[in-house]
Chains A and B, each alone.
Chain A
Amino acid sequence: ILNVEQSPQSLHVQEGDSTNFTCSFPSSNFYALHWYRWETAKSPEALFVMTLNGDEKKKGRISATLNTKEGYSYLYIKGSQPEDSATYLCALDTGGFKTIFGAGTRLFVKA
Chain B
Amino acid sequence: EPEVTQTPSHQVTQMGQEVILRCVPISNHLYFYWYRQILGQKVEFLVSFYNNEISEKSEIFDDQFSVERPDGSNFTLKIRSTKLEDSAMYFCASRGTSGGEYNEQFFGPGTRLTVL
* Residues of chain A at the chain B interface (Cβ within 8 Å): 31-32, 34, 36, 42-46, 48-49, 51, 89, 91, 93, 95-104
Total A-B Cβ pairs within 8 A: 54
**What's the least CB distance linking B34 to chain A, in Å?**
11
> Using an 8 Å CB-CB cutoff, how does the interface string of B99-116 with A read, 1 for contact, 0 for none?
000111111111000000
Interface SS of chain B: helix, strand, loop or mixed? strand
> Using an 8 Å CB-CB cutoff, how does the interface string of B45-83 with A read, 1 for contact, 0 for none?
100101000011010000000000000000000000000
The answer, yes or no, to whether B18 is at the interface (CB within 8 Å) is no
**What's the least CB distance linking B51 to chain A, in Å?**
11
A selection of 22 A-B contacts at a CB cut-off of 8 Å is: A31-B102, A34-B104, A34-B105, A42-B109, A43-B108, A44-B43, A44-B91, A45-B107, A46-B104, A49-B103, A95-B56, A96-B31, A96-B55, A96-B102, A97-B48, A98-B45, A98-B48, A99-B35, A101-B35, A101-B42, A101-B43, A104-B42
Give Cα A42–Cα B3 distance, bound, in whole angstroms.
Answer: 13
Give Cα A77–Cα B50 distance, bound, in whole angstroms.
Answer: 35
Please name all residues of chain B whose beta carbon is closer than 8 Å to the beta carbon of A89 when the two chains form the complex: 43
Q: How large is the interface on B (under 10, 10 to 19, 20 to 34, 35 or more residues)?
A: 20 to 34
Known: A43-B109, A89-B43. A49 touches B104 (CB 8 A): yes
Q: Which of A32, A34, A44 has the most CB of B within 10 A?
A: A44
